[in-house]
A and B are shown apart, each in its own frame.
Chain A
Amino acid sequence: SQTIHQWPATLVQPVGSPLSLECTVEGTSNPNLYWYRQAAGRGLQLLFYSVGIGQISSEVPQNLSASRPQDRQFILSSKKLLLSDSGFYLCAWGQGIYGYTFGSGTRLTVV
């Protein structure tokens, strides 16, 4: 069966520090991978999605970036965090027209 792993679960980072969140998927090949952000009490904002290795589509211009170095690995990064980057970050995978499966999320607080 397919599983998705996302870490860390919580993170407190100072403004201006770098960020790296990792997501890996097991039990499937060539999945579509996604990063969403959820601000407190708000909806899910699509940040990036990838349909294959090295293929990244960015939805919102900001100081975040994403990379897909391997088929089942998706990384969200930032060189310098802003206060506004705080939120609940969710990785998800999907294949074709099926519902996405979300990772357990990373709660990021930028202080």
Chain B
Amino acid sequence: GENVEQHPSTLSVQEGDSAVIKCTYSDSASNYFPWYKQELGKRPQLIIDIRSNVGEKKDQRIAVTLNKTAKHFSLHITETQPEDSAVYFCAATNNNDMRFGAGTRLTVKP
């Protein structure tokens, strides 16, 4: 089955700096890669996703890149703000079930 690795487990940045979270996956059949943000005690919320026929996608301050050959995908947050502080999860799926990375706790210091 699919195995998703996520790094780093914790990340602390200064407000205004960029943050990058990286994930790798094992199943070459995976074709959809979403990213979720989870605030303390709340449900994960989808923030951006990318499909296997796309190499990069951007939505305002958030961008995702996908390298299918290397089975890597990354989340980039620019101009970070304190409200970006949360746990971020990457995930990969090949249709029926979705596997998540272990999460990255991002802290943005004002």
Interface residues of A (CB under 8 A from B): 32, 34, 36, 42-44, 46, 49, 51, 57, 59, 90, 94, 96-105, 107
Across the two chains, which residue of chain B brings its CB closest to A107?
B41
- B67-100 interface code vs A (CB 8 A; 1 in, 0 out): 0000000000000000000000100010111111
Interface residues of B (CB under 8 A from A): 6, 31-32, 34, 36, 41-46, 49, 51, 89, 93, 95-103
Give the residue of A49, A59, A90, A96 whose beta carbon is less than 8 angstroms from that of B43: A90
Given contacts A46-B99, A100-B98, 8 further A-B contacts (CB under 8 A): A32-B96, A44-B44, A44-B100, A44-B103, A46-B98, A57-B96, A57-B97, A99-B49
How many angstroms from the CA of A94 to the CA of B44 in the assembled complex? 14
Give the residue of A43, A51, A99, A104 whose beta carbon is less than 8 angstroms from that of B96: A51
The 8 closest A-B pairs by CB, nearest first: A43-B102, A99-B46, A44-B100, A102-B43, A99-B34, A97-B32, A43-B103, A49-B97
* 17 A-B pairs (CB sep. < 8 Å): A32-B96, A34-B98, A42-B103, A43-B6, A43-B89, A43-B102, A43-B103, A46-B97, A49-B96, A57-B96, A97-B51, A98-B32, A99-B34, A99-B36, A100-B34, A103-B43, A104-B43
Report the tally of A-B residue pairs with Cβ distances under 8 A. Answer: 53
Across the two chains, which residue of chain A brings its CB closest to B43?
A102
Q: Is the interface of B mostly helix, strand, loop or mixed?
A: strand
Give the residue of A46, A49, A59, A101 whose beta carbon is less than 8 angstroms from that of B46: A101
- A residues in contact with B46, CB < 8 Å: 99-101
Across the two chains, which residue of chain B brings its CB closest to A57?
B97
Given contacts A34-B97, A43-B102, whether A97 and B89 have CB atoms under 8 Å apart is no
How many angstroms from the CA of A60 to the CA of B46 in the assembled complex? 25
How many angstroms from the CA of A32 to the CA of B95 in the assembled complex? 10
CB distance from B48 to the nearest CB of A (A): 9
Cβ–Cβ contact B44 & A102, under 8 A: yes
Cβ–Cβ contact A59 & B102, under 8 A: no
CB distance from B26 to the nearest CB of A (A): 15
Cβ–Cβ contact B43 & A97, under 8 A: no
